[in-house]
Every structure is written in C-alpha cells, then in structure tokens.
C-alpha cells in the first residue's frame, strides 16, 4: 500500500510541477504585425549575384531586398521579412529571428531596406541598438 501511495504522490507532484511550469511560460510579443507579402513578379528566375565570401545570393536592382540562401528565397520590404520555397513565391511573413544570420550579417551595401520595421524593439536586446540599421540610409542612394 505504501508503494502505491508513493507512486500516486509522485505522479500528482509531477502533474502539479508540469502545470506550474506551463503557467510560468512567458511569451513576449512586440505587437508588430507582419503585413501581407508584396506581389513579386519574376516571370523567370531572377539574375542573382553571390555575395563575396558567403553562400548568400542577392537579386541586384530590385525594389525589395531579395536573397537566396539554402533552399529558400528571402525578401525584405521595409524591415518586414518574407520567405518562399521558390523565386516566385508564395512568400509568407517570418519573424526577424528566422532570417538566417548570414543574410543579416551582410554588409550594409546589400541592404536597401532596414533590417527591422519601424518601431521594432527586441526584448532581448539591451540598450545598444543595431548599428547595421543606422547605416542603411547612408548606402541607400549610392548604388
């Protein structure tokens, strides 16, 4: 009887701890909705250029920042990011955290749009802001 009671007690304790852990989960939402993806009209695969010393390709002279990395195409419009399995879509909105680091780390001359949307603030980011965004305006008119 004591073994059954101990097993029941441990099961109940595990359940309480599981519920408490679930209650303690915090979800941070910065409240910036991703707008619908822009209409992308490439009738054929767009010309891409490899960014030197990376495995990232970009589409030069296009109204949005468009990159090819791995099996996906990434599009940045005004700091809002989208991803598609093919060059002509369908593009779906993604969180900035899901943009591959090699794309984010590209030199500013490859970004004509800011990396983040207006009003963006990363809760995990300290008071130091993203200097990469500071310079996108500087390079924007020199292409």
Please tell me the predicted confidence (pLDDT) of residue 140.
40
**How far apart (Å, rounded) are the C-alpha atoms in residues 85 and 57?**
15
- Whole-angstrom CA distances from 35 to 68, 82, 99, 134 are 21, 10, 16, 23
Model pLDDT, residue 143: 37
Q: What is the pLDDT of residue 28?
A: 38
For the chain, 143 residues long, the average pLDDT of each consecutive 10-residue run is: 51 41 38 77 91 97 95 96 94 95 96 87 47 42 38
Question: Residue 72: beta bridge partners?
Answer: 69
pLDDT at position 95 is 93
CA angle in degrees (0–180, nearest 5) for 77-81-87: 85
Assessment of whether the complete model's pTM goes beyond 0.75: no
Question: What pLDDT, on the 0 to 100 scale, is given for residue 141?
Answer: 40
Q: What's the pLDDT score for residue 135?
A: 42
CA 105 to chain centre: 13
């Amino acid at each position: 009887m004591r073994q059954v009671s101990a097993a029941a007690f441990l099961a109940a304790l595990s359940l309480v701890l599981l519920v408490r852990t679930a209650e303690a989960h915090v979800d941070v939402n910065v409240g910036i909705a991703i707008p619908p993806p822009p209409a992308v009209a490439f009738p054929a695969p767009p010309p891409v250029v490899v960014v030197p010393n990376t495995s990232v390709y970009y589409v030069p002279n296009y109204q949005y920042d468009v990159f090819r990395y791995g099996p996906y195409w990434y599009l940045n419009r005004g700091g809002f990011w989208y991803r598609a399995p093919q060059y002509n879509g369908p593009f779906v909105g993604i969180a900035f955290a899901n943009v591959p680091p090699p794309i984010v780390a590209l030199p500013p001359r490859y970004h004509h749009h800011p990396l983040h949307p207006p009003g963006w603030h990363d809760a995990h980011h300290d008071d130091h802001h993203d200097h990469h965004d500071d310079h996108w305006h500087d390079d924007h008119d020199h292409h």
